[in-house]
Amino acid sequence: MSHRLILVAFACGVLLWTIFAQLNHYLSGWHINLFVGGLLVTFPALRLTYRDGWKVMLLLGFWCDADAPIRFGLHAILFLAAYTIIYHLRGRFPREEGLFGVMVAMIANAGIFLAMTIALVVRHPAPFSALPAVILDLFISELFVAVAAGWFFTLQEHALEIAGFSLRRDQRGLL
């Protein structure tokens, strides 16, 4: 039963990544790149069990690494790190609240984005000249994460319900 949950959560993540890849294609003429890794991490970290979420993060990380011009595994490592941090802090916060989820997604997205930027800055011939573009990409990515988070969380919850999973029932009413 857990395999189906992992597959549904993975499929939702692939859908989001595909939509934003297409949007990045259209924005490439303006030299803008959106990053939505924080959205992929947040729902599983706030709502799934540790083991199930960990598997989803690993699959999504490898999926994102497959077409990225970076070392294979970087997305997976960063997603797993962000997932683990959020998962271990989630008991202290109202994790079922929509606004809280949006805030966590934005913080996670900024953290993953900055960690990836630092990891890749060594490849850039003039790293400080790229700073304005990095800041612009981060700002626009955060705006899109804030706008898309509610839709994506609802998509994931409804997809899991259609697949026969009720997070409220499965977690004994804690949500």
* DSSP code string of 89-155: HGGGS-TT-HHHHHHHHHHHHHHHHHHHHHHHGGG-SSGGGGHHHHHHHHHHHHHHHHHHHHHHHHH
Given this model, what pLDDT does residue 168 score?
Answer: 65
The rounded distance, in Å, linking the Cα atoms of 72 and 28 is: 23
pLDDT digits 0-9 by tens, 56-77: 999 999 999 888 777 888 999 9
How far CA 137 is from CA of 24, 142, 143, in Å, comes to 11, 8, 10
The rounded distance, in Å, linking the Cα atoms of 159 and 32 is: 31
pLDDT digits 0-9 by tens, 36-51: 999 999 999 999 999 9
| Cβ neighbourhood burial of 60 (10 Å; 0-12, 13-18, 19+) | buried
pLDDT confidence bin for 94, thresholds 50/70/90 = confident
pTM assigned to the model: 0.88
Which residues neighbour 101 within 8 Å (Cβ) at sequence distance 6 or greater? 42, 43, 46, 95, 149, 153
